Amino acid sequence: MPDSASHDADLVRRARAAHAAGDLDAARRCAGELWLRYQPQAYAASRRRARGSEADEVFGHLQLRFIRWVYYRDTAPQNMTGLLNQMALYAYGDLQRTEAREAPTVEAIDDYGDRDLGRRGNPNEVALNQLLDRDLIEQLLPVLNERERILIDRMLENAPDAAVAAELGVDPNNLHQIRFRALKRLRDEARTRELTA
Amino acid sequence: MDEREIQLGNLLADALAAFSDGRSADVDALIDQAGDDRAELLDMIELALMLQGPALPAQVDVETIAMTPAFDPRSWPAILTDARHANGLERPSLITQLADLLGFSSDDAREQMRVRYHELETGLIQPAGVQRPMLEALGDLLGGIRDTLAATRLAPVGPLHDEVVFNRKGFPDVGDDTALMLMSKAMAPERTPDQRAVDALFGI
């Protein structure tokens, strides 16, 4: 299995090539696989913007935007979670415009500001969007203690909780709290770096 | 470790398990339980999902979702044209049925419907502005494609259709008010209420 980033890039490249060649079924399959890979992230991103039925609508618009991005844009996938958060922000704007009976402009549909991804929104979201990139997480690991670092390493390896708890010698129930604290430390460090950058 | 972190840690674990088991809908209740710490919990969920890496969907799930309307790569001009042909409908027949379904009986309304539908099918009107009753009527008349039309409203409209012909209506630059006067005379006549109602349905 190739690494995640190259597999994502390959799916996007194949979807766009198939779309351009008129092989619409192949384009749909590639876009569908990429969407399913990040559907939980999209769900969480939509819940950050709204609640209840409105969050479901944001999720629906976000999916449309994601698919259009795959088919029609020429940028490579990077920091997919940050990209989804940006799209959720725009998707929420779709709903606001719809309520105002105002059609979105082409620019509003199509521009995610890829080059400055994560540079919009409030400072906390900016820091989080930048942190939501696996390539950057390594730089933040030094803020963790040994136990937390092992836990994060095992998350990166997708190790089951029971195995990680055994390795760390903690009750599996305590693992949840250690994980929460470790993630919080990473986020707070990202915020600090963003504010001092 | 305080009680709040214990609770949030457990909610995080439950949310990750729900995503892993394909129970996304259950996550809403978990997020709600975080109360004022909702944003904090969402931060941690996103971080944890990122660390875990993307999901590895089963091929059968990929095939299923790929065939849902949202993944249709075509834009409205292609979808409308394909569906009309598939249903053996000529445009005049479709316009008549569309007008009947939407309750327009006057000649000026039907003529406006013809003009606007032509513009929609040839890519001169952005589908994003088309109103729900028009979308649903088109979807029903064109073989039950409501969901496809709704899911592709935001798709960029591609190159203009071959049928589009631009009339040349230029005015000489005479450097005085003559051009404005000519343009004023050339302006479209006031639309009737029925024409305005039709335009509104097309988002104009």
Domain residue spans of chain B = 3-56, 70-201
Q: Domain limits at A112?
A: 4-120
Residue A152 sits in the same domain as residue A107: no
E strands, B99-143, where?
none
Q: Which residue has the tokens 């027949």?
A: B93
CA atoms within 13 Å, Cβ hemisphere of A80 = 28
- Closest-CA residue of chain B to A178: B9
Residue A64 sits in the same domain as residue A40: yes
Report if residue A129 sits inside a domain: no
Sequential pLDDT tens for chain B (204 residues)? 578 889 999 999 999 999 999 999 999 999 999 999 999 999 999 999 989 999 999 999 999 999 999 999 888 999 999 999 999 999 999 999 999 999 999 999 999 999 999 999 999 998 988 999 999 999 999 999 999 999 888 777 765 555 555 545 555 555 556 665 666 656 667 889 999 999 999 999
Residue range A62-86: mean pLDDT, rounded: 88
Is residue B142 within 8 A of residue B80, CB to CB? The reply is yes
Domain boundary among A120, A153, A186: A120
- What gap in Å lies between CA B80 and CA A75, rounded to an integer? 29
Domain boundary among A120, A155, A181: A120
pTM (2 d.p.): 0.79
Cα torsion A17, A20, A21, A24: sign: positive
Report the b/e string of A59-77 with b at 16+ CB within 10 A.
Answer: bbbbbbbbbbbbbbeeeeb
| Residue among A38, A180, A194 with most chain B CBs within 10 A, to mutate | A180
Report the b/e string of B121-133 with b at 16+ CB within 10 A.
Answer: bbbbbbbbbbeee
Residue A113 sits in the same domain as residue A139: no
Q: Which residue has the tokens 């198939």?
A: A18
Cβ of B46 under 8 Å from any chain A Cβ? Answer: yes
Tokens standing for residue A1: 């299995």
List the 120-159 stretch of A: residues with Cβ below 8 A of B: 124, 128, 131-134, 137, 152, 155-156, 158
Residue A116 sits in the same domain as residue A144: no
We report the CATH number of the domain holding residue A157 as 1.10.10.10
Report if residue A126 sits inside a domain: no
Report if residue A43 sits inside a domain: yes
The candidate with the shortest Cα–Cα distance to A184, out of B54, B26, B37, B29, is B37
Q: Which residue has the tokens 């013809």?
A: B114
Cβ of B66 under 8 Å from any chain A Cβ? Answer: yes
Residue A113 sits in the same domain as residue A186: no
CB contact under 8 A, B24 and A184: no
Residue A100 sits in the same domain as residue A159: no
Q: What is the pLDDT of residue A116?
A: 44
Residue A159 sits in the same domain as residue A91: no
Residue A157 sits in the same domain as residue A112: no
Q: At what angle do helices A24-49 and B25-33 cross, to 10 degrees?
A: 20
Domain boundary among A96, A120, A144: A120
pLDDT per residue over A124-182, tens digit each?
Answer: 666 666 666 666 788 888 999 999 999 999 998 889 999 999 999 998 888 999 999 99
pLDDT per residue over A20-42, tens digit each?
Answer: 999 999 999 999 999 999 999 99
Q: State the total domains in chain A.
A: 2
- What gap in Å lies between CA A104 and CA B111, rounded to an integer? 27
Tokens standing for residue B109: 């309304």
Report if residue A128 sits inside a domain: no
Say whether pLDDT at A197 is over 90. Answer: no
